[in-house]
Amino acid sequence: MKIFRHYDDIPDTCRGSVIALGNFDGFHKGHQIVIGRAGRIAREMKTSLSVLTVEPHPRTFFNPSQEDFRLTSFRTKAHLLEQFGVDQLFTLPFDRDFSKMTAQDFVLDVLRDKIGALHVVTGYDYRFGAGRGGGTDVLGWLSEVEQFGYTIVEKVMEGDHIYSSTNIRDSLRQGDVRQVAERLGHWWSVEGHVIQGDQRGRMIGFPTANISMDGYLKPLAGVYAVRVIIEEEGIWQGVANVGRRPTFDKKDILLEVHLFDFDDHIYDHPVKVEFVDFIREEAKFDGLEALKTQIGQDCLTARELLAKPENARDYIPVPRLEDYL
């Protein structure tokens, strides 16, 4: 997948594609249907499939001091889109100038002139342009005037549930990572490099790999059964704590992962932590022995959860474009 971080000087070989527009935070099942519809049209038109999004998220740009809310980092989202089968990802910088661009200028200057869109696909609630002044009605009218195709994908339902990033964020705040995985259509994960912590886990026989959660929405503080993908090492099972470590009076939120049957040093290694199931909420213990006993029990619980067929990694496989053609 080719990634473009601006819309100037797009090579001719990458122009003239079918483009799915949206932020696609989390890349949930609703997003997959939107991009899958774009992929089907691209196949019919015998052209490439593109996704156009912006960085940073507009909510972050307009309110940089708010709490982290994203389900996926740019790195994670790009990986998911590439695995899905997207050919090109246009990630435009959302800055002051871009935030002031009118809906019409976005369509004429970016989609038509710079990228040369042949067909555009959006969800039913897509908004764009300065002050979110453009919607599907504006985009539909401009597509007729400028003679490019436009498809609107209606809301995607599961019973009475709408697939939306907002609903999934709510489930994550409740610690229901199993439901989150079902609604995403892939395991929710955190990616980052292993950083050095206080090494207290090693002192009590449970060494941990520590990963910053900066930029990610924080799930319910507690203990989770996880899988860890380590580049050049493989996939390992483990138990993770997300929280402030109240036993040690810490205040910052950290992701600490104890990997089963693993003793390599992986400081600075890039890792991906997939959250599989929730075990318990974070608690404060009276001392190291009480904490050590509880971690031992958490490890047993995590192994039991990870052994269940419905928690196998391939039970919720990474979504692919072929599933939506």
The string of pLDDT tens digits covering residues 123-164 is 999 999 999 999 999 999 999 999 999 999 998 887 777 888
Using the predicted structure, report yes or no on whether residue 246 has a pLDDT greater than 60.
no
Query: Looking at 185-194, 251-260, 305-314, which range is the least confident one?
Result: 251-260
**Mean pLDDT of the region 34-56:** 97
Domains of the chain with bracketed CATH:
2-160 (3.40.50.620), 188-314 (2.40.30.30)
What is the reported pLDDT for 161? 79
Using the predicted structure, report yes or no on whether residue 196 has a pLDDT greater than 90.
no
pTM: 0.91
Dihedrals φ, ψ of 107, to 5°? -65, -50
Q: Which residue has the higher pLDDT, 21 or 63?
A: 21
What is the reported pLDDT for 199? 60
What is the reported pLDDT for 197? 66
Query: Looking at 61-75, 218-232, 303-317, which range is the least confident one?
Result: 61-75
What is the reported pLDDT for 203? 59
**Mean pLDDT of the region 284-301:** 87
The string of pLDDT tens digits covering residues 76-116 is 999 999 999 999 999 999 999 999 999 999 999 999 999 99
Using the predicted structure, report yes or no on whether residue 253 has a pLDDT greater than 70.
yes
Query: Looking at 23-37, 54-68, 86-100, which range is the least confident one?
Result: 54-68
